[in-house]
Amino acid sequence: MARRADVLSGACGGGQRDGAGTSYIVRTPGGVLYFVSNDNLSDVSFRKSSNDGITWSAATFMFSGTVTALSVWYDRWSDIAAGLIHCAYQESVTDDTLYRTIDTESSDALSTQTTIFAGASTANGGCLSICRGRGGNVYCATMIDAGAEGGFFRLPNANVPNGAWDAARTTVFEAVTQDQVILVPGWAADNQDMMAFFWDASSDEISRKLYDDSANSWAETSIATGMVEQAATTAFPHFAAAVDITNSRNLLAAWSAVDLLNADLRCWHVTESAITEVTNIVLNSTDDQGLVAIGIDTNTGYWYAFYGGKSDGSETFGTLINIYYKVSTDSGTTWGPEILLTQSARNYVCLYTTPRFTGNMTFAGIVFATLNDIIFSAELAQPRASYQLVGG
């Protein structure tokens, strides 16, 4: 049976987006949802739902402090048959990047909190991304103050989750304010190698960076130029990734510009040897669009792209927009119609989804009759709140 979009409202602080932390909603094989967030007091907590987001548990607190960015990764997105949710968060009192895990397969046991990076100051313009390689190492790209402090760090598999992080590795950053990074697993023969999507704010370019773990080195190839970023303090993210384990590749979606006439929501699938652009999700926007999240239905292989603002320009980005989505049943060759997901226009400034899920979809031609297994989070501007929606 189709279900209306249900909304769960709760506290969620600006650090959920301001620090450009790449984050996702986790869905376990048993169908339990986990949403890790930082609240209005800038603490980190998680809530869970066993009924597709209709009801949620009370918050379980993981850290109390002043969190400026948060990033989340789940073992199974790296094709690892385990249940750790890896959480990295930046904190502005100690100026550190910290790490803790939730063991979803052991009564949500929390690991010991460890330090990824010990800094000296925190400022706007940072970013944060955590990811586990297919070989088990955990990696974190962290920048806490606009290019001046941070780096790229590794937690060896043998040390997961309670052990010490290695000293800084060769950095993925180019030390420029507002640069942004999404870490994803690599697909090379060495399963500890990694991939990063790097948005270079100074040159308006997104590139693919490949990390050779054994050589501790990066190699870079351009994906797209003319990609004009928007500060995370305004809204985030405007580029998003998902892991296509079946085809040993990563998906990337990105806006060429935000809230601008003729902007495009572009899409690629990427491996170590190829960067393949597919059909634009949105072509020649009529202004007032931004935000993006992308996910894969592992049952069908279909791609789901979520974004903010109607393509005809009738909504106002930064004031009142709805969230929409499109579906591709052929790996991005074509995209279906633009479908309204939310129930009312609001000032959505943050958007996440489950990047891998098992859906139960029924089609009537190209019109969706049901959409029962899509969960995403859209944060509102003042007054700050976190909204969980279930499309149906």
**How far, rounded to the nearest angstrom, does the alpha carbon of residue 355 sit from its chain's CA centroid?**
8
pLDDT over 60 at 340, yes or no: yes
Any domain includes 356: yes
Between residues 190 and 7, which one has the greater pLDDT? 190
Range among 14-23, 75-84, 175-184 with highest mean pLDDT value: 75-84
Contact 40, 11 (CB under 8 A): yes
Note whether 70 and 92 are within 8 A (CB).
Answer: no
Summary mean pLDDT of the chain: 86
At 189, list the tokens.
């023969």
Q: Taking a C-beta distance cutoff of 8 angstroms, is the pair 62, 47 a contact?
A: no
Cα–Cα distance, 265 to 28 (Å, whole number): 29
Question: Tokens in use for 235?
Answer: 């809204």
Domain-embedded: residue 379: yes
pLDDT of residue 52: 75
The pLDDT of residue 218 is 98
Which tokens belong to 50? 């066993």
Q: In what order do the strands lie in the sheet with 26-27?
A: 26-27, 33-38, 44-49, 60-63
What's the whole-number mean pLDDT along residues 177-194? 94
pTM of the model: 0.91
Checking if the pLDDT of 14 tops 80, the result is: no
Structure tokens at 350: 């943050």
Residue 346 amino acid letter: R
Using CA atoms of 318, 319, 322, 328 in order, give the dihedral in degrees to the nearest 10: -20
Residue 124 has pLDDT above 90, yes or no: no
User: Would the pLDDT of 386 be above 60?
Assistant: no
Which of 278, 263, 192, 193 has its CA nearest to residue 228? 263
Is residue 55 in some structural domain?
A: yes
Better pLDDT: 356 or 38: 356
> The tokens of 13 are what?
């602080």
What is the model's pLDDT at position 359?
62
**What's the rounded Cα separation, in Å, for the pair 187 and 321?**
37
Whether residue 248 is contained in a domain is answered as: yes
In this prediction, residues 326-342 reach a mean pLDDT of: 94
Structural domain including 263 reads 7-390
pLDDT for res 135: 98
Structural domain count, the chain: 1
User: Residue 265 is part of a domain; what is its CATH number?
Assistant: 2.130.10.10
> Is residue 194 assigned to a domain?
yes
* Cα distance from N-terminal residue to C-terminal residue, the chain: 8
Q: State mean pLDDT over 329-342.
A: 94
Rounded percentage of the chain residues whose pLDDT exceeds 70: 86
In a domain, 2, yes or no: no
Q: Cis check for the bond before 29: say yes or no (omega within 30 of 0).
A: no
Q: What is the pLDDT of residue 311?
A: 96
1 inside domain = no
Report the amino acid identity of residue 232. A
| Tens digit of each residue's pLDDT (9 = 90 or more) over 133-184 | 999 999 999 999 877 789 999 999 999 999 999 999 999 988 677 889 999 9
Higher pLDDT, 147 or 59: 59
Q: Report, as an integer, the average pLDDT of 307-327.
A: 94
**Whole-number Å distance between alpha carbons of 178 and 200:** 8
Tell me: pLDDT of 30 over 50. yes
Residue 50 pLDDT more than 70? yes
Q: What is the pLDDT of residue 174?
A: 82
Q: Which amino acid does the sequence have at 179?
A: D
Q: How many CB atoms lie within 10 A of CB 67?
A: 27
The answer to whether residue 159 sits within a structural domain is yes
Among residues 37, 28, 27, the alpha carbon closest in space to that of 387 is found at 37
The pLDDT of residue 343: 79
